A = this chain, B = another copy of it.
Amino acid sequence: MIIVMQPDAGDAAIAAVEAKIRSYGLDVHISRGSERTLIGAVGDERKLDPAMFDPMPGVEMSMHVVKPYKLVAREWHKANTVVNAGGVPIGGPTVQVIAGPCSVETPAQMEAAAAGVAAAGARLMRGGAFKPRTSPYAFQGKGVDGLRLLKDAAAGQRLPVVTELMDVRMLDRFIEHGVDVIQIGTRNMQNFDLLKAVGQVTTPVILKRGMSATVSEWLMAAEYIAAGGNHNIIFCERGIRTFETAYRNVLDVTAIPVLKKETHLPVIVDPSHAGGKAWMVPALSLAAVAAGADGLLIEIHPSPKDAWCDADQALTPAEFKALMGQIKAVAAAVGRDT
Contact = CB atoms under 8 A, between A and B. Distances in A.
Interface string A119-131: 0000000000000
A191 B188 contact: yes
Interface string A61-80: 00001101000000100000
A112 interface: no
Which one of A240, A249, A252 has the greatest number of beta carbons of chain B within 10 Å?
A252
B257 A250 contact: no
A135 B226 CA distance: 12
A135 B68 contact: yes
B334 A326 contact: yes
A240 to B, nearest CB: 6
Secondary structure type dominating chain A contacts: mixed
A253 B35 contact: no
Interface string A311-327: 11110000000000010
Contacts of A166: 191-193
B31 A42 contact: yes
A326 B326 CA distance: 17
Contact of A291 (B193, B245, B283): B283
A240 B246 contact: no
Contacts of A314: 55
Given A224-B136, A253-B284, A34 B43 contact: yes
Total identical chains:
4
A56 B305 contact: yes
Contacts of A292: 283
B246 A214 contact: yes
A145 interface: no
A258 interface: yes
Given A38-B65, A291-B287, A330-B290, A247 B254 contact: yes
Interface residues of A, number: 105
B51 A310 contact: yes
Nearest to A286: B290
Contacts of A217: 134
Interface stretch (A85-93, A154-162, A271-279): A271-279
Contacts of A279: 257, 261
B52 A311 contact: yes
28 contacts: A2-B38, A4-B65, A29-B33, A31-B31, A31-B42, A35-B65, A52-B305, A52-B311, A55-B304, A55-B305, A136-B220, A166-B192, A166-B193, A169-B193, A187-B192, A212-B241, A215-B244, A243-B243, A246-B258, A249-B254, A250-B250, A253-B283, A253-B284, A254-B280, A256-B283, A261-B279, A326-B334, A330-B330
Contacts of A252: 242, 244, 250
B241 A254 contact: no
Contacts of A193: 166-167, 169
